[in-house]
Structure 1
Amino acid sequence: MPGSKASAAARKTVTKAPSKKAAASKARASTAPSSTAKNAKAPVSKPSGGKVAVGKKVPAFSSLITGGGSWKASEAAGKNVVLYFYPRDNTPGCTTEGEAFRDLAAQFNKANTMILGVSTDSIASHEKFKAKYRFPFELLSDEEQALCQLFDVIKEKSLYGRKFMGVERSTFLIDASGVLRQEWRKVKVPGHAEAVLAAARAL
């Protein structure tokens, strides 16, 4: 019947309209950023207090350490700390520097000073490096560059004309109360460990 066909057509029109709106809402929801996505991009937490400065207390920090677990700066209470940053495990300059600190380790100990090497290498790499060259001190792994940022040692470098960001060889001497007493940047390896030892003895 003509009336029935018209009525059916009207019902179809009514049911189609909401489904289009629902589809549009669904499309908008799918393109909107979710709270989960935002959380996934949250920055890695870093030590508070900004960059370090000579004469000021170094902000509290912790890092993975060879031998297992995490090391906190508070564990050095009562001792001076030499924190030396180097570019990479098993490279010539970094090996020579590590050996120099190794050979003077007993004298640093007599000066109430502990040595800690830091690079962005993994703990697995550090363990092999430490064992190979018989370092009597521990190495901190800073893969996320939290310590590197705190001590401001990530700089633009150049190799064979290629520019990149990397660790600038640097050393920091922190006294027994946690105050940064001296820093060496753009370190040249020859004679460096000896200079740091002299400074540690003078504290």
Structure 2
Amino acid sequence: MSVAIGEPIPDLELPVTGGKTVKLSDYRGQHLVLYFYPKASTPGCTQEGQDFRDAAAEFAAAHTQILGASRDGVKAQENFKTKQAFPFDLVSDTDEALCQAFDVIKLKKMYGKESLGVERSTFLIDAEGVLRAQWRGVKVKDHVAEVLSAARALATG
């Protein structure tokens, strides 16, 4: 079962960069952008992360935190965050609990081979922990601007 717009998100406990563990409820009181990407330090995922990084101050002004997530281990996430100077944490979802809760594991085809992977997706969660918007099968170009616009709209009510 995956989350649906207008419904509360599950309060999962997650390992994040910085040697911390967070619960999704830790973000209550602020809006949250939760974005899923297939693999740390790959070109599209790097560009998407950089776009969120470059807009971080604008998201903060809209009372919105950012949290990135993939199935990479903590070490890979730490390296990715440090190398790209991301001002937000990255989730290491190696057990796929978060990916499954948001239904982002999809059958993908690459070079004629099929495999299960993370579909690039973004979710906007309000200050009460309710899912307000989602983008699935995201194309990186102009995506962050679209999410920022939705975050601003949510912040102004």
In the superposition, the TM-score normalised over structure 1's length comes to: 0.75
Whether 1:160 and 2:118 are equivalent positions in the alignment is no
Q: CA deviation at 1:184?
A: 0.1
Whether 1:200 and 2:151 are equivalent positions in the alignment is yes
Q: CA deviation at 1:69?
A: 2.1
For 1:18, the equivalent position in structure 2 comes to none
In structure 2, how many angstroms separate the alpha carbons of the residues matched to 1:108 and 1:168?
A: 23
Identify, as 1 or 2, the structure richer in strand. Answer: 2
- 1:71-119 Cα distance to aligned partner (Å, 9 max, x none): 1011111000000000001100000000000000000000000000000
Runs of 4 or more consecutive aligned structure 1 residues displaced over 6 Å after TM superposition: none
Q: CA deviation at 1:121?
A: 0.3
For 2:131, the equivalent position in structure 1 comes to 180
> Counterpart of 1:55 in structure 2: which amino acid?
G
Aligned length: 154
The correspondence of residues 1-203 of structure 1 with structure 2, limited to 5 A, is: 50-203=1-154
Secondary structure (helix, strand or coil) at the match of 1:57 reads: coil
For 1:21, the equivalent position in structure 2 comes to none
- 1:1-56 Cα distance to aligned partner (Å, 9 max, x none): xxxxxxxxxxxxxxxxxxxxxxxxxxxxxxxxxxxxxxxxxxxxxxxxx3100011
Identify, as 1 or 2, the structure richer in helix. Answer: 1
In the superposition, the TM-score normalised over structure 2's length comes to: 0.97
Gaps spanning 5+ residues in structure 2: where? none
- 1:153-176 Cα distance to aligned partner (Å, 9 max, x none): 000000100011000000000000
In structure 2, how many angstroms separate the alpha carbons of the residues matched to 1:74 and 1:56?
A: 14
Q: CA deviation at 1:58?
A: 0.8
Q: Percent identity?
A: 56
Gaps spanning 5+ residues in structure 1: where? 1-49
Larger Rg computed on CA atoms: 1
In structure 2, how many angstroms separate the alpha carbons of the residues matched to 1:139 and 1:184?
A: 19
In structure 1, how many angstroms separate the alpha carbons of the residues matched to 2:149 and 2:51?
A: 14
Q: What CA RMSD, in Å, does the superposition of the two structures yield over aligned residues?
A: 0.6
In structure 2, how many angstroms separate the alpha carbons of the residues matched to 1:149 and 1:122?
A: 17
> Counterpart of 1:155 in structure 2: which amino acid?
K
> Larger relative CO (CA 8 A, sep 6+): 1 or 2?
2
> Counterpart of 2:34 in structure 1: which amino acid?
L
